[in-house]
Structure 1
Amino acid sequence: MSSIQGSTLDISLQWAKRITVTALTTAAALVFVAPTAQANNGFNMPGYGTRALGMGGASIALPQDSLAAANNPAGMALVGDRFDVDLTVISADIDLDAAGNGYHDSPLPLVPEFGFNRRLSEDWTAGVSMISNGVELDYGEAVPGYGTTDLKSKLIQSIVHPTLTYRLAPGHYLGASLLLGAQRLRVSGIENLGLERTQGDWATGYGAAFGYIGRLSPEWQVGATYRTPMRFSRFDEYRRLLPEGRIDMPQQAGIGLAYTPNERLTLALDVMWLGWSEENTWGNAFTEGGALGDRDGPGFGWQDQRVLRIGASYDVTPHWTLRSGVSLASKLVSGDESRLAALAPLMGRDHYTVGTSYTLGNGIELNGAFIHMPYEHLHGAGASRGVDVGIGVDMLSFGIGVPL
């Protein structure tokens, strides 16, 4: 028995290696050519995968496709052999009022994602999920107080999750993902902060994520997940702007429940915590005290965030499913931090979603979701007085799932 298990593990690692190389190549290309997400739970999307987005992002205990590793690595154990490609179109309205003058941008970025999963044996699966996060804006002109050229910023991040899962016992699974990330940043129009025009810079990073998912009864399923901080290399061109020139991603944790009272209806609930305040670039206040670029230098002043996601799914027919959900998050940033929020207006908190799926006769799934984030306004105070920022977002997500 031990030799069989060892052989299975070797096969698992070989598959994971192949998948990781392919995914990294794709992610490296996307981080340079793909438009950027206008992320909404801080720097994160409200959920990953079109099906999950249709349910308000609720997914920790309810994996539905091969993007599951981005929500809970253990979920890959339950999605079977499949390949998924999603594309989200984001329409954002961004407003900036500085020194009594108004500025506006309406970016329309496209956000690609994909996933692949393969069952290796009764106990093991190997797969990969690739997601994107980011922010993009261009006010089209210089903004007094910031600089003498057009004020714009763009940060693209792609993260690959090569993932293995293992069955502990019937209905109970563990999952682990290596997180491999690439970032590209370009900021201009902030000469008054000591940064002249740049061509942009890129960084790579790493981390890990772990998860559990278990069947408690025919009706109830539970999930839990934890992601370590992701440590990224330095942006050399921005070492005198960002604390230590880095944009690291925080640790986060979540638990979820899924309840299926009958064969048609499924309800899901997630509770998450994101530790933004622990990372210098995100957590340091604008008035932190140190010089720009120092470890204790000015940052975005974000607070830790708590997120509640609730979703419902109803099978109208064996081929057609409807979904709906809501994601509610705690306050991320105060008006004291609005000066740098003009570069990354990611203070949106609440999302309302609907979605649908239709399965064709050959098993191919067509998925869609609409997500609305109401307009959120940040009124400048303290050292940021006179700088007001607002943002509202609508998203349309489309996906294709292919059984293998």
Structure 2
Amino acid sequence: MTKLKTPRFSGLAALCLAAAVPSVASATEGYFALAYGPAQRGVGGAGVAYSVDPMSAAINPANIADIGHQMTFGVEAFSPRRGFTATGAPPLPEGKVESGHEWFPIPNFGYNRPLANGGALNVMVYGNGGMNTSYPAVFNPYCGDGGGYGVFCAGKAGVDLMQLFASVGYGRKDGNFSWGIAPTVAVQRFSARGLNMFDQEGYTASPGKLTGNGYDFSTGIGLRAGIKYEINPQFTIGLSGQTRFKMSKFDKYAGLFEGNGSFDIPASVTAGVAFKPRSDLTVMLDYQKIFYSAIGAVGNPNTALPFGAPGGAGFGWDDVDVLRIGAEWQQSPDMTWRFGYAHATNPIGPEDVVLGVLAPGVVEHHISFGGAKKLNDRDTLDFAVNYVLPHKVKGPSFLYPDGSEVELEMKQISASIGWSRRF
């Protein structure tokens, strides 16, 4: 095993290790998904002030009051294409390296039922994951005197973070005002491998609990709530928020995550408007802010070694701002078309490229297209295709600023389909 001997090389190794943490669930807006159902994906994830099906409650629980009695199933085939190119930045191998594992299924289920008291009940289960990083055991000239294999000199390397959410929500509409609340349970699954060269005293607070320990699970609960107000038949405004999810610790990876394995889910807030210029057309505009910097494992400085210690190293992510624009056009009673665009700010700057090697979630521009085909009076088929434009972030390794270069790159494509039934 390659030893970390000099301060310059040690710091680089620690920073590369931090890259195992962020953006592995869904590198669309950090590790938040673009949307949680095909109807919302078709309009770029917009809809805080507009309801379509039971999954609309994932955007704003206030939508529960307007959905009626419905059930929906859906699945997304999500494909992130990611990798990096390094030049003169040990211990990263020279040249371009691409991650494997390019396709992941992400399911969703929702059920909405009006109640006798005028309110409505909503149940949802949906995934916020499907992306991991899996690098092959490529030849690495920086592994020992004669070279070795692996991005970090330990064979195949990668991380895997999956998230599952389940909520039971209640919503009500009084006049033009709607509100909703949805307590939500979250389950996370995580694993890391191939990071052995960092599992030593001085770089982790818990040697033996940093890599290669198989899957570990974390559970927690948070609260989502929202309001919506119909100003007139043409304009509706909406506001929703999600609290921080306090998650149980990843005990098997107490030497990787700050605070002995803590990896909470950040809070977020979304505001938006829906405008109907005519009866067959709805235009949506949403703004979302995700507070990544408040989570120690995400926002702490990456130089605050050792990993795993209270207040220890994170990866220095900034908060993310997302702007979404969507449109839904009803061509006929049986056919609806959807279009959308979303722009997310990139939390990884040129000074942080080394951190992004194992999780190059640098994409910004998202284009969406979809529709809904009414099969009969009760059943509707929804579909969507999303394309995330290729984006790169390039910068020097601050440990080897003279001539070193690390470039992260990613693009994404996904296709989703869903079925809804009205009762």
TM-score bracket for this pair, using the shorter chain length: 0.7 to 0.9
| TM value normalised by structure 2 | 0.83
Question: Which structure 1 residue ranges, 4+ long, deviate > 6 Å from structure 2?
Answer: none
From 230, 233, 256, the equivalent of 1:241 is 256
Equivalences for 1:4-83 in 2 at 5 Å? Answer: 38-83=26-71
The answer for the alignment partner of 1:121 in structure 2 is: 116
Residue by residue over 1:97-125, the C-alpha shift from the partner in whole angstroms, topping out at 9 and shown as x without a partner, is: 33313221241001101111100035211
The 5 A counterparts of 1:88-237 are: 88-97=76-85, 98-106=92-100, 107-121=102-116, 123-134=118-129, 135-141=131-137, 146-167=152-173, 169-194=174-199, 195-237=210-252
Indicate conservation of the 8 Å contact 2:266/2:292, yes or no: yes
- Whole-Å separation in 2 of the counterparts to 1:92 and 1:277: 24
Of all paired residues, the percent bearing the same amino acid is 26
**Counterpart Cα distance in 2 of 1:175 and 1:383:** 50
Task: Give the equivalent residue in structure 2 for 1:296.
Answer: 311
Residues 327/48 of structure 1: CA separation in 2 closer, same or farther (3 Å cut): same
Alignment CA distance shift 1:158-1:126 (3 Å): same
Would the alpha carbon gap of residues 39 and 131 (structure 1) be closer, same or farther in structure 2, given more than 3 Å must change?
farther
Which one of 231, 245, 264 corresponds to residue 280 of structure 2?
264
Give the superposed CA RMSD. Answer: 1.8
Moved more, 387-396 or 373-382: 373-382
For CA contacts below 8 A with separation 6 or more, give which structure has more relative contact order.
2
| TM-score of the aligned structures, taking structure 1 as reference length | 0.87
> What's the offset of the Cα at 1:379?
2.1
Is contact 1:99–1:387 with CA below 8 Å preserved after alignment?
Answer: no
- State the secondary structure of the residue aligned to 2:35: coil
Checking the alignment, whether the CA contact within 8 Å between 2:64 and 2:172 is kept in structure 1 is: no
Residue type at the aligned position of 1:139: Y
How far did residue 37 of structure 1 move? 5.6
Q: Report Cα offsets for 1:35-94 as digits up to 9, x if no partner.
A: x96340110111222111111111100121111221111111111111111111112211
Unaligned runs of 5+ in 1: 1-35
Which SS does the other structure have where 2:332 is aligned?
coil
Cα distance in 1, alignment partners of residues 395 and 123 from structure 2: 42
Contact 1:37 1:111 in 2 (8 A): no
Quote the Cα distance in structure 1 between the aligned partners of 2:369 and 2:331: 14
* Contact 1:88 1:111 (8 Å CA) reproduced: yes
Q: Structure 1 residue 284 and structure 2 residue 300: aligned?
A: yes
Deviation for aligned residue 1:351: 0.5
User: CA contact under 8 A between 2:25 and 2:31: conserved in structure 1?
Assistant: no
State the secondary structure of the residue aligned to 1:149. coil
CA deviation vs aligned residue, 1:180-211 (integer Å, no higher than 9, x gap): 00010011011122134211200101110110
How many corresponding residue pairs? 367
1:102 partner amino acid = K
- What are structure 2's unaligned runs of at least 5 residues? 1-23, 86-91, 141-149, 200-209
| Higher mean C-alpha displacement, 133-142 vs 157-166 | 133-142
The structure with more helix, counted as a fraction of residues: 1
Q: Which residue of 1 aligns with 2:291?
A: 275
Aligned to 2:6: none
Q: Distance in 2 between matches of 1:162 and 1:368?
A: 25
Give the AA of the match of 1:223: G
> 2:223·2:242 contact (CA, 8 Å) conserved in 1?
yes
Correspondence 1:355 to 2:374: no
Larger Rg: 2
CA distance in 2, matches of 1:78, 1:66: 10
Letter of the 2:293 counterpart: S
Deviation at 1:319, TM superposition (A): 0.7
CA offset at residue 137 of structure 1? 2.1
Residues 1:379 and 2:379 are matched in the alignment? no
Letter of the 2:93 counterpart: A
